[in-house]
């Protein structure tokens, strides 16, 4: 099957960018990674054998590029948060919803890269266990186990952040 690269970019750049952005925490690096993803897609689209869906294949590339970036840059230490996730000096500006979102973002950043990614893919991006398994190249039951473990860790981190 022949694919229209421009159409792929048009259709998938938004959801891929959002996924990368949730993992990275800043716009500039996320844009750079998205560009790397599409360069990779452009080079390899003719070799796509449709063993998985196009969406799964694209997310696998985005996932690999993002994890490579995080490992290379060692971006997220537990005490180091991106600017957009740091607490505001004026908490009255925040609504309850944005405070909850900030708390969850802070907690997510304290998870290991793979744990964070699986939680984001399932809980925020809405992927099925099967899709995550295909993207990550691991068994579906492993995804379920990792998600359960990661969510348990996330709850504990949230309680610690809240001072409980």
- What is the tens place of the pLDDT at every residue in 26-38? 889 999 999 999 9
- pLDDT tens-digit series, residues 38-53: 999 999 988 888 888 8
- Residue ranges of domains in the chain: 1-75, 78-164
155 vs 90: which has the higher pLDDT: 155
Residue 87 has pLDDT above 50, yes or no: no
d(CA 84, CA 86): 6
- Residue 117 structure tokens: 């990614």
Instruction: Say which CATH class 78-164 falls into.
Output: mainly alpha
CATH code assigned to 1-75:
1.10.1740.10
In Å, how far are 25, 60, 131, 150 from 40, measured between CA atoms?
Answer: 22, 11, 21, 30
Token pair belonging to 73: 């840059």
């Amino acid at each position: 099957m022949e694919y229209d690269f421009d159409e792929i970019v048009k259709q998938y750049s938004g959801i891929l960018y959002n996924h990368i952005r949730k993992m990275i925490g800043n716009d500039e690096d996320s844009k750079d990674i998205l560009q790397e993803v599409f360069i990779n897609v452009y080079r390899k689209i003719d070799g796509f054998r449709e063993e998985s869906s196009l969406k799964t294949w694209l997310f696998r590339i985005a996932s690999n590029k993002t994890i490579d970036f995080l490992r290379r840059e060692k971006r997220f230490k537990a005490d180091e948060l991106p600017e957009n996730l740091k607490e505001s000096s004026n908490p009255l500006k925040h609504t309850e919803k944005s405070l909850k979102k900030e708390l969850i973002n802070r907690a997510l950043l304290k998870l290991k890269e793979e744990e964070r990614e699986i939680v984001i893919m399932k809980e925020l991006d809405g992927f099925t266990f099967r899709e995550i398994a295909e993207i990550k190249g691991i068994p579906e039951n492993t995804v379920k186990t990792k998600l359960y473990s990661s969510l348990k860790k996330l709850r504990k981190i949230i309680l610690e952040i809240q001072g409980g």
